[in-house]
A and B are shown apart, each in its own frame.
Chain A
Amino acid sequence: MGWLPWSSGDSNKSSDGGRIAPDRTSRARCWEGRDHFFACLDRNDILDGIKNDKEARQKCAKEVAEFEEACSKTWVKYFKEKRVMEYNRDKTIERIKNEDAQKVKELKSSGWKPT
């Protein structure tokens, strides 16, 4: 039972049957929890908070608890997946850049000049 509406039953229902979304303050709180948790993962060299759930919970027990209290389950899962995705994306971009640089180097050594 957290302090957020969605973790305490039906109080997050709006009077016309909708579901009240987190407001600006609770979003900020959630993001803060996420940042603390990810900083801890970085310190412990853990990338995937889902795959290495056990290890993460062991090493970042306090941060995990705060993160999960401040954000809904789907958000927690989303942020963990996004972290992996962004890491892979940046790696891919870096790899492509390096390959390009390598190619240019090779071409230059074989007498080609960039126009």
Chain B
Amino acid sequence: MPSSLRMASGLFRQAIRTITTLESAQSQRILPFIRNTSQSQCRAYTQAQRPRCQNIQTALSARNNFSTSPFRARAKTMGQMRQRNSTGPFSWKAALLFVLTGAGMVIYFRVEKARLERKRIAELSKGVGKPKVGGPFNLVDLDGKEFTAEDLKGKYSFVYFGFTHCPDICPDELDKMAEIIDKVRAEAKDDKAFLPIFITCDPARDTPEVLREYLKEFHPGIVGLTGTYEQIKNVCHQYRVYFSTPRDVKPGEDYLVDHSIYFYLMGKLFDAMAMRWHADLLIDPDNDFVECIGRQDTPESATRVIMEHINDWKREGKPMKTL
């Protein structure tokens, strides 16, 4: 941050300098004065030195001949003179230019700084030597069609891991997700650039039919995905989501999927650990995980974060699938 600020202030100074040169016609008024002084000095010199002085004189007048900037018209009245003296080298035009340039730069640097910061964080989570979040997976959508990681490419995906028999957190989060979907789609003016996905962690009970009925109540645009126990375990592992679904469940037996985690971890730890589980994962068109939208986010703050990423992506001119 300090470096960009320094850069901004440097540019500011440059802007001021430019403005003063614009007004530098004034300094030409000093020239005749200099000429006069050199002349009087010359008079004091000995005869032998005289030619050199003359040289300077010719040089000065020659420079004057080459100068393209015209002398500023001399003030004709006392009023004009007084006005010129009171405003100094600044006129209202220069002031306006100064203020506008300054304001423009401040805005530009703020926007650019925020963008670079987001990019840096997004790059960090792709980072070298860090566990990569995301990867190939194989699931089926609600029509029984295969859905793989390839289907995420070319758009921003918003992934939530949950299960339909979830007592309170998932329904709350899905209501929030529905709000976010509408807000983002309205702002992006593009229904296809943003793909909300619900992946069940309870494939034994959450068949396509159950999922369809369940998701319908929240938002018709949410893509529900399910698969075999192994497939679900794999995708949860890829996205570093805590997975504790019992493997062998007697038919009709009632169970909860993940909530054992709540009771192993008390106090502050609980919130930190459960974060990823009940978070929406934002995944960019290159299938890289960029952001975690947690329970602490409101639909408004989440929409803002997502829109920033989508706009950055577009501004960088990267392709986005809009089919």
Q: Which residues of B contact A89 (CB under 8 A)?
A: 266-268, 270-271
- A16-B202 Cα distance, complex, nearest whole Å: 15
Partner of A79, one of B167, B214, B254: B167
Q: Which residues of A contact B255 (CB under 8 A)?
A: 74
Q: Give chain A interface residues in 1-45, CB to chain B under 8 Å.
A: 6, 10, 14-24, 27, 30-31
Is B210 a contact partner of A82 (Cβ separation < 8 A)?
no
Is B165 a contact partner of A88 (Cβ separation < 8 A)?
no
Which stretch of B108-116, B118-126, B237-245, B256-264 is in the interface? B256-264
- A15-B212 Cα distance, complex, nearest whole Å: 13
Task: Name which residue of chain B comes closest to A23, CB basis.
Answer: B217
Most A CB contacts (10 A, CB to CB) among B210, B214, B252 go to B210
Q: Give chain A interface residues in 84-115, CB to chain B under 8 Å.
A: 85, 88-89, 92-93, 96
Q: Which residues of A contact B209 (CB under 8 A)?
A: 14-16, 18
Is B210 a contact partner of A18 (Cβ separation < 8 A)?
yes
- A85-B270 Cα distance, complex, nearest whole Å: 9
Q: Quick one: given A6-B254, A74-B254, A78-B256, are A92 and B266 in contact (CB under 8 Å)?
A: yes
Q: Is B164 an interface residue (CB 8 A)?
A: yes
Q: Which residues of B contact A82 (CB under 8 A)?
A: 262
Q: Is B230 an interface residue (CB 8 A)?
A: no
Q: Give chain B interface residues in 96-146, CB to chain A under 8 Å.
A: none
Partner of A21, one of B164, B259, B266: B164
Q: Which residues of A contact B214 (CB under 8 A)?
A: 21, 23
Task: Name which residue of chain A comes closest to B267, CB basis.
Answer: A92
Is B171 a contact partner of A27 (Cβ separation < 8 A)?
yes
Q: Is B316 an interface residue (CB 8 A)?
A: no
Q: Quick one: given A27-B171, A74-B256, are A20 and B213 in contact (CB under 8 Å)?
A: yes
Q: How large is the interface on A (under 10, 10 to 19, 20 to 34, 35 or more residues)?
A: 20 to 34
How many Å from the CB of B247 to the closest CB on chain A?
Answer: 16
Q: Quick one: given A16-B207, A20-B210, A23-B213, are A72 and B168 in contact (CB under 8 Å)?
A: no
Number of interface residues of B (CB under 8 A): 28
Is B167 a contact partner of A21 (Cβ separation < 8 A)?
no
Is A14 a contact partner of B207 (Cβ separation < 8 A)?
yes
How many Å from the CB of A68 to the closest CB on chain B?
Answer: 13
A-B contact count (CB 8 A): 77
Task: Name which residue of chain B comes closest to A9, CB basis.
Answer: B252
Task: Name which residue of chain B comes closest to A10, CB basis.
Answer: B252
Is A81 a contact partner of B262 (Cβ separation < 8 A)?
yes
Most A CB contacts (10 A, CB to CB) among B206, B213, B267 go to B267
Q: Is B227 an interface residue (CB 8 A)?
A: no
Q: Give chain A interface residues in 35-72, CB to chain B under 8 Å.
A: 71-72
Q: Which residues of A contact B267 (CB under 8 A)?
A: 88-89, 92-93
- A30-B263 Cα distance, complex, nearest whole Å: 21
Q: Quick one: given A16-B209, A81-B263, are A21 and B256 in contact (CB under 8 Å)?
A: no
Is B210 a contact partner of A72 (Cβ separation < 8 A)?
no
How many Å from the CB of B272 to the closest CB on chain A?
Answer: 12
Task: Name which residue of chain A comes closest to B254, CB basis.
Answer: A74
Q: Is B153 an interface residue (CB 8 A)?
A: no
Is B254 a contact partner of A72 (Cβ separation < 8 A)?
yes
Q: Which residues of A contact B262 (CB under 8 A)?
A: 81-82, 85
Given A16-B207, A74-B165, A82-B262, 10 new contacts (CB under 8 A): A14-B207, A14-B210, A18-B210, A18-B211, A73-B254, A88-B267, A89-B267, A89-B271, A92-B267, A92-B268
User: Which 4 residue pairs spanning A and B have beta carbons closest together?
Assistant: A18-B207, A21-B164, A18-B210, A92-B267
25 CB < 8 A contacts A-B:
A6-B254, A16-B209, A18-B205, A19-B165, A19-B210, A21-B164, A21-B165, A21-B206, A23-B214, A23-B217, A24-B217, A27-B168, A27-B171, A30-B167, A31-B168, A72-B165, A74-B167, A74-B254, A79-B167, A81-B262, A82-B262, A89-B266, A89-B271, A92-B266, A93-B268
